[in-house]
Amino acid sequence: MKMFKKICMSLSLASLGLFATSCNTSSDQIKIGVLQLATHGALDQAYAGFKDALASGGFVDGKQIKITFQNPEGQDSDMSTMAKSLVRDNELVLAIATPAAVAVQTAAKAQNSDAKILFTAVTDPVDAGLVSSNEAPGGNITGTNDMNPVVQQIDLVKELIPSIKTLGILYTISEENSKVQAELAQARAEAVGLNVIVATVVDATDISSTTRKLINDGAEVIYIPTDNNLAKNIPSVTNVSDDLKVVTMCGEGNMVTAGGTITLGIDYYKLGKLTGEMAIEIIKNGKSPATMPVLSLPDTQYSISIDDEAIEQIGIVVPDSIKSRISE
């Protein structure tokens, strides 16, 4: 297995134990590739957190490291091509979102590459076939998962609208990460006595019509997991749901910022930082992804976000028990 090229360090003791100054020549830079599935708030923030964690640890892009960033905007053929290039040309590759992680892992296996791979914003890395287990990944890949607090989100729906009888669940049929969350949401909703209607979309073109049908079929609230397609196209849901006065419970905060009604979710910037700290362990201390457990943010870092304008348009009165927990 190849070793990371060592950064040339100054012998000065003035750093007081921090990383010493790099020689800053391109031949000394560690090459890091990044494959981000698409452009939307959560994934963008995860990447920003990753870079900031590296910089805080003494690895600045253009100095000690060289980052090559690729974004296929969800196009499978482009993603496969980019993954192959990033695996071939870099010593460490970060994949952001489940499809990107699968593409990078597939490319690494096809090339018999020993590039180290990290992922972030992956909901269930075991179900996706990325790792043997979260505790012992076993291969050359590990990272952070973004499983949101589905049970607590459904409980929040009941707290917001105690009279609710029917929950709608909407997700993209090709996204395994969304299916996992949808099944958890359905199980919890049924456990607390709700009827559940599940609807799926194929791509951006059928979101509005499927949302309208879901509501016409009786959905009083629509649950949307951390679904990459829906996150990128959330206005296609909320333009319909807000008009018909139906709450959208979203998987994460950026979907609320983009127009969703409410969430209890994780901070993707912090998730990216956690992944960046894992990268430092690999680069600086020679850690192997095979022995680095998949990490998650602690549930103490979950926070409630609400779109006040959407709540007002829908006509919901937010209980004080929820107001007191809304993040600033």
Is residue 12 pLDDT above 70, yes or no? no
If we measure between CA atoms, which residue out of 181, 79, 203 comes closest to residue 122? 181
Please tell me the distance from the alpha carbon of residue 146 to that of residue 113, in angstroms, as a whole number: 26
Q: What is the pLDDT of residues 51-82, one digit of tens each?
A: 999 999 999 999 999 999 999 999 999 999 99
Across the range 300-323, mean pLDDT stands at 90
Mean pLDDT of the chain: 90
- In this prediction, residue 265 carries a pLDDT of 87
pLDDT of 233 > 90? The answer is yes
User: What value, to the nearest 5°, has the Cα angle with vertex 87 and ends 82 and 88?
Assistant: 100
Beta-carbon count within 10 A of 202 CB: 12
Asked if residue 95 has pLDDT above 50, the reply is yes
Query: Rounded to whole angstroms, how far apart are CA atoms 55 and 33?
Result: 16
Which among 119, 59, 111 is positioned nearest to 87, based on CA atoms? 111
CB atoms within 10 A of CB 76: 11
Inform me whether the pLDDT recorded for 26 exceeds 90. Answer: no
* Contacting residues for 291 by C-beta, under 8 A, at least 6 apart: 136, 137
| pLDDT given at position 301 | 79
Confidence of residue 328 (pLDDT cuts 50, 70, 90): low
- The pair of structure tokens assigned to 166 is 């029917």
Token pair for residue 267?
Answer: 């901070």
Query: What domains sit in the chain, N to C, each tagged with a CATH number?
Result: 26-146+268-297 (3.40.50.2300), 150-265+302-323 (3.40.50.2300)
At 203, list the tokens: 């791509």
Task: Tell me the pLDDT tens digit for each residue of 198-230.
Answer: 999 999 999 999 999 999 999 999 999 999 999
